[in-house]
């Protein structure tokens, strides 16, 4: 990751009301903590990597969404232009991961090994769904999909950048 790497904290869904507010779907597991303190962020379209600094002037919560007012956006038409963009912060500005958790980018490149010390590869990314995350571990051009479940993931040591897995027989041969 580069120094200017961003982490998305919300996705702008659509305008709300006549004053320029937008409805935002939080992309964080602690939306109230994240959005109540959020002032300066980036409007980000990751496909062309278009970034635009923005300032949040207010936010309030309604059901599963956040109603956000962006400085300078005062009409539904102006708010419509934000639809589909992400609200993002620099990696160094993310909230700390909850105890016992990590952000995937924090462990990118971490050594993955078995309990007996046999190297499996390096942690690359997370795929799958929230209900069944799969960790991608790469070694010599080959990728292994490792279910992120306590029966397989024995230890994650952020300080040493090391992950210990106890794969069932045959998992690494797939």
The CATH number for 166's domain is: 2.30.30.240
Q: Which two tokens stand for residue 66?
A: 């956040």
More confident residue, 129 or 132: 132
Do 72 and 124 have their domain in common?
no
Whole domain around residue 157: which residue ranges?
Answer: 104-173
The confidence score (pLDDT) of residue 100 equals 75
Q: How many domains does the chain have?
A: 2
Q: Give the pLDDT confidence of 31-50 residue by residue, as tens digits.
A: 999 999 999 999 999 888 99
- What percent of the chain is modeled with pLDDT above 70? 98
Do 133 and 59 have their domain in common?
no
Q: Quick check: 96 pLDDT over 90?
A: no
Q: Give the number of other CB atoms < 10 A from CB of residue 6.
A: 21
Q: Quick check: 1 pLDDT over 80?
A: no
- Look at residue 1 and tell me if it is in a domain: no
138: CB partners within 8 A, 6+ apart: 121, 122, 124, 144
pLDDT confidence bin for 3, thresholds 50/70/90: very low
Q: Quick check: 97 pLDDT over 60?
A: yes
């Amino acid at each position: 990751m580069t120094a200017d790497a961003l982490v998305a904290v919300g996705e702008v869904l659509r305008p709300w009301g006549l004053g320029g507010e937008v409805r935002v779907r939080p992309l964080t597991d602690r939306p109230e903590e994240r959005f109540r303190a959020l002032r300066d962020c980036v409007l980000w379209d990751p496909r062309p990597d278009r970034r635009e600094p923005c300032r949040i002037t207010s936010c309030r919560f309604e059901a599963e969404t956040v109603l956000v007012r962006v400085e300078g956006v005062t009409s539904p038409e102006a708010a419509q232009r934000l639809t589909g963009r992400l609200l993002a912060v620099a990696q160094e500005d993310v909230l700390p991961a909850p105890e016992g958790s990590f952000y995937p980018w924090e462990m990118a490149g971490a050594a993955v090994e078995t309990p007996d010390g046999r190297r499996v590869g390096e942690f690359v990314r997370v795929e799958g769904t929230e209900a069944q995350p799969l960790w991608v571990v790469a070694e010599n051009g080959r990728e292994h999909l490792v279910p992120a479940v306590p029966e397989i993931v024995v230890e994650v040591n952020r300080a040493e950048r090391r992950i210990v897995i106890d794969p069932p027989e045959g998992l690494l041969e797939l």
